[in-house]
A and B are shown apart, each in its own frame.
Chain A
Amino acid sequence: MATAKQPPTRKKRFLLDDLELTILSLPTAIWYIAFCYIPMFGVVMAFKNYRVKMGQGFLYSLFVNSDWVGFKNFQFLFRGQDAYLMFRNTLGYNLVFIVLGVLLPVALAILISQMYSQRLAKACQTSMFLPHFLSWVVVSYFVFAFLSMDKGLINQIIRSFGGKSVNFYQESGLWVFLLIFLNVWKSMGYGMVVYLARISGIDTELYEAALIDGASKWQQVKYITLPMLRPIMSIMFILSVGNIFRSDFGLFYQATRNAGALSDVTMTIDVYVFKLLIERSNVNYSSAAGLLQSALGLVTILGANLLVKKIDPDAGLF
């Protein structure tokens, strides 16, 4: 009886159809193996003292020629000031970015949807979307045009009021706020668009019914708009919490022009790994830092998802 209910395809066999689909998707599968899965095994470098053996391949150098050192690379990492700095910076900036990255776009999206002139709203939205499409290299030039020591606009204004030029690329205290500002500047348009798309999808009858019941504008936002936005907000929240150990390398390295005097406030984990690997060719410590970042990132994204699911079972990402 039970077998009669189930369709005959229940016991799956590999059919010709499946073979064709597999051939079709084979290049993508190869890409994933080559660029995602094989590098995953590279994490063993964090536990090795990598030494190159001349004339031999990378694999020989890594697996035969290099000794296992256990957690020594990690110990070295935490010996100096660097580990404290990069974890403080990465987590600190990300906490601010997460709070601003959820609150600001939601607030802006609700406000702009209330504007009388929807044509003007559209124009503003479009221009606020522009920074999302620019690279940090380009943004670094924008910033430089304002902050340059001898020709920058701000220094000219300071000088015209009789002040002395400021070398902004050495003022690390200022950059804490500047980096937050730049991040908001570049991402607020994008966030706003995401929430605005949802807001314009809300049935207007809901608001009309609320109005007839005497709800004020604020009550409408609180009891209709915000609950409707909650699923997207929680997805955005999970994603950003899951990436709390990652940082936008371009923001911290390129937008600051890699200024040495700023390294106290710009050195995040990604910047550290990059500098160690590319500028100093140190594979051991940089891979240890990278592995730490990946492992902690895995834990936080699973944790954030679990947490959100506990609060609202339908809101999880996976």
Chain B
Amino acid sequence: MTAKQSTRKPKALGTEGIQKFNRVKPATNVFITVLFILLALMTLLPAVFVLILSLSSERSIQAVGYSFFPAEWSLDTYAYLWRDKEVIGRALFNSVFVTVGGTFIGLVLCSTMGYALSRPNYYLKKFYTVFIFIPMLFGGGLVASFMVNTQIYNLRNTYWILMLPLACSTFYIIIMRTFFQTTVPDSVIESAKIDGARQFRIFGQIVLPISLPAIATIGLFFTFGFWNDWFLARVYLNTNRQDLYPLQYVLISIERNIEFMTRSAQYMTPGHVEKLPGETIRMAIVMVVVLPIACSYPFFQKYFISGLTIGAVKG
């Protein structure tokens, strides 16, 4: 009601009236609007372009090159990917497995430490705060990590190496701790203690269930992080362990040689060996990586933003 009235009488002395009065000039608004539409197109168009390429036929690409207007549309590439269980199916499984497993491990590690740090009287609170802070300032670097991971822990060519190095972060622990401190009332925990509950039970049955927003936020950070990681695979996987390749690393491998895909084609039954859609297949794999993100992040971004703003609280 009030909104309607204020649009009719723009200079009415309600809050909305003042806000409306305090707007930038219409010409400035046009400028800002055009600027942001251009920026939005600039960020979206490359993804749309690659989607169009993946839906072009191989012949069209040979004829007109990479174009927003292909000569011929085709779903052949996706059909090929769908049949190719050997490389793409396996890589998709690896990506999903590492993402789910890594996110789970990460949530366990960050929430437990975050909870311990959120208890005001915890004996090791001060020590742990420094303990998790030092690695933010100084690290051994890639070489030392590489030698330790491969020579001492023997993690090369395992699923573990794709998950563990990214499974914890001081930043996420601080977000968790801040959330527990601000939203879980001390009185709830104290009364549970008086009722005889031990810390494990308090954490698992009281704190975690009421902290789902924080778990969701950190879980999302982890999910996108693991889904997008290619560096660990690049560093720690040997070329003869293609069975462990996640999608991101398949993309790097076929960038270097398209043979990567044809080699797997030979393993297929002789009758089904078909011509490889070399150009479009890369673009289609890019879309397999991008589409789940592009379709989901608009719904999750409010959790992201809340995580970012909690993280900006120092402590």
A residues lining the B interface (CB < 8 Å): 9, 12-15, 17-18, 20-25, 27-29, 31-32, 34-43, 45, 57-59, 62, 108, 111-112, 114-117, 120-121, 123-124, 126-131, 133-143, 145-146, 148, 150-153, 155-156, 185, 188-189, 193-194, 197-198, 204, 207-208, 211, 217, 220, 232, 235, 249-250, 254, 257, 270, 273-274, 277-278, 283, 286-287, 290-291, 293-295, 297-298, 301-302, 316-318
Find out whether the CB atom of A115 lies under 8 angstroms from the CB atom of B50.
no
A146 / chain B contacts, CB cutoff of 8 Å: 46, 49, 66
For chain B, residues 252 to 269, give those with C-beta under 8 angstroms from any C-beta of chain A: 252, 255
Find out whether the CB atom of A24 lies under 8 angstroms from the CB atom of B112.
yes
B residues lining the A interface (CB < 8 Å): 15, 18-19, 21-24, 28-29, 32-33, 35-37, 39-40, 42-44, 46-47, 49-50, 53, 61, 64-68, 108-110, 112-113, 115-117, 119, 121-124, 128, 131-135, 137-148, 151-153, 164-165, 167-168, 173, 193, 198-200, 203, 224, 228-231, 234-235, 248, 251-252, 255, 279, 282-283, 286, 289-290, 293-294, 297-298, 301, 304-305, 308-309, 312, 314
Complex Cα distance, B18 from A207, in Å, reads: 9
Find out whether the CB atom of B119 lies under 8 angstroms from the CB atom of A138.
no
Find out whether the CB atom of B199 lies under 8 angstroms from the CB atom of A39.
no
**From A201, which residue of chain B is reached at the shortest CB distance?**
B309
A-B contact count, CB below 8 Å? 294
Find out whether the CB atom of A249 lies under 8 angstroms from the CB atom of B231.
yes
Complex Cα distance, B307 from A193, in Å, reads: 12
> Would you give 5 A-B contacts (Cβ < 8 Å), ordered by A?
A21-B199, A42-B143, A42-B145, A153-B67, A283-B143
> A156 is contacted by which of B46, B67, B199 (Cβ under 8 Å)?
B67
Find out whether the CB atom of B47 lies under 8 angstroms from the CB atom of A142.
yes
Find out whether the CB atom of B293 lies under 8 angstroms from the CB atom of A133.
yes
Q: Given the interface contacts A22-B116, A150-B65, does A137 sit within 8 Å of B251 by beta carbon?
A: yes
Which 4 A-B pairs rank lowest in CB-CB distance, beginning with the nearest?
Answer: A42-B144, A58-B151, A39-B140, A290-B141
Least Cβ–Cβ distance between B266 and chain A, in angstroms = 25
> B283 is contacted by which of A123, A141, A270 (Cβ under 8 Å)?
A141
A145 / chain B contacts, CB cutoff of 8 Å: 46, 49-50, 53, 66, 283
Find out whether the CB atom of B230 lies under 8 angstroms from the CB atom of A28.
no
**From A196, which residue of chain B is reached at the shortest CB distance?**
B305
**Taking each of A35, A108, A188, A211, which has the highest tally of chain B beta carbons within 10 Å of its own beta carbon?**
A35
Q: Given the interface contacts A20-B198, A32-B132, does A127 sit within 8 Å of B40 by beta carbon?
A: yes
Least Cβ–Cβ distance between A261 and chain B, in angstroms = 17
Complex Cα distance, B133 from A318, in Å, reads: 10
B145 / chain A contacts, CB cutoff of 8 Å: 35, 39, 42
A250 / chain B contacts, CB cutoff of 8 Å: 230-231
Extra contacts besides A40-B140, A302-B137 (6): CB < 8 Å: A13-B123, A114-B32, A208-B19, A254-B230, A273-B141, A290-B143
Q: Given the interface contacts A130-B294, A193-B308, A317-B314, does A117 sit within 8 Å of B116 by beta carbon?
A: no
> A138 is contacted by which of B43, B53, B224, B290 (Cβ under 8 Å)?
B290
